[in-house]
A = this chain, B = another copy of it.
Amino acid sequence: MTAQSAAPHRVAIVGGGFGGLYATRELSRSAGVEVTLVDRRNFHLFQPLLYQVATGALAPGEIAQPLRSIFRKRLNVTVLLGEAEAIDVGARRIVLSDGGPIDYDTLIVATGAQFSYFGHDDWARFAPGLKSIDDATDIRRRILIAFEAAEREADPERRAEWMTFVVVGGGPTGVELAGALGEIANDTLKRDFRAINPGDARILLVEAMDRVLPTYPEDRSASARRQLERLGVTVRTTTPVVAIDDRSVEVKVGETVERIPARTVLWAAGVRVSGFAHAVAEATGAPTDKACRLIVGPDLAVPGHPEILVIGDAAVEPWKEGRPVPGVAQGAIQGGRYAGKTILRRLRGEPTPPFMYRDLGDVAVIGRLAGVTNIPWLGRFGRTGGFIAWLLWLGIHISYLIGFANRIVVTVRWAWSFFTHGRSSRLITGQPLLPPIEEPEPPA
């Protein structure tokens, strides 16, 4: 009886989004591995539905699930609330912002991405992006406050400023936000006010490229545009933003600059990785693209560091013909599963095949009963629009939601909203009274 079991292989996973979640799941079934999952938040967030929180259709808790409760029965998984800040590549150790060190044998970086203001970080306070629950409740507050302020504003010009909403960025988030705004103005709030008609709201979707949904086929972009216009959204492509302040957006039209007075500007453009991924890139000398994403090898490892895997939006992962994996939930989910499997294969001494992304396609919803899909493996049947797209979207999102109670509750909410044309989560929390961008922040 001299056989002795080896010490378990320690895996540190930074980030509890789709990538980190699915990597942890994959590893949590193996006794030979000990996983430490670190996140700044105590919950996994179902980001594809975040815009529904921002527009009052769902409540924050309905699209989030505590990481601890997801993994409570997996005793080889430790969940830590903390922010990874630094890495010592030689010692194989990461350091949290409060000093706590975590030693690893393999590290999975799954820190995701934030929106980038293209060097204009001062725009952030006028035009919040939509990445976290707090962003979503902040944006919800701004949208609802704008209608409240318009209701109380007698001056027609200032009222029009409150009634103008600009969404910057024509990717899926921007399209879904603009569609939801169109629905709010024309349907949800229709009868709620006395002095204003919410249907008079001007909603603009501004995109620097020549079409919305630029990663979709061209005919899907055209379909999305038509459906947005049907909801009263003005779509302006080839229109880059050059300035934002608390009362307006300036865009470039050809050679001239046009000022659009608007009190509510929402940002859904650009991508930038977060701090810890930067630290990893610096410490390993890994190549990055211009959004600072780490360029990884076919096994998702940092070149020269097989013990550091990068997945999801923090990485540029090779796919077929050198095209990178798109920055969508499926990319992170498949990357997470692959990373987990790779670690287990290595421990068993098996060869590891390269990462193969399977493009399951994209679905975007546009307001009520409408949307577009682009599902390549369904051939021409994968290119739908309107009601069919909306139904597909519904089914996919409910089936991927974590937590069975959330699935029931979200289904009840959606069914309810559908029949009543209502949105049930229209609370203004935080400071309710002052328009949030009226007062400049104190100088730092």
Contact = CB atoms under 8 A, between A and B. Distances in A.
For this chain, the copies found in one complex come to 2
Contact of A422 (B152, B405, B412): B405
A127 B219 CA distance: 58
Interface string A28-68: 00000000000011110000000000000001111010101
A193 interface: yes
A291 interface: no
Given A69-B192, A406-B424, A81 B148 contact: yes
A428 B43 CA distance: 8
**A: contact size bracket:** 35 or more
Given A42-B426, A64-B427, A405-B412, 13 more contacts: A42-B148, A59-B61, A59-B62, A60-B60, A60-B429, A72-B191, A81-B145, A81-B148, A82-B433, A134-B429, A137-B429, A403-B424, A409-B412
A432 B66 CA distance: 13
Given A59-B61, A73-B191, A424-B61, A405 B409 contact: no
A103 to B, nearest CB: 15
A-B pairs, top 3 by smallest CB distance, nearest first, are: A59-B61, A61-B425, A68-B192
Nearest to A133: B429
Interface string A116-153: 00000000000000000110010000001100100110
Contacts of A360: none
A416 B426 contact: no
Interface in A147-167: 148, 151-152
A443 interface: no
A151 to B, nearest CB: 8
A83 B434 CA distance: 11
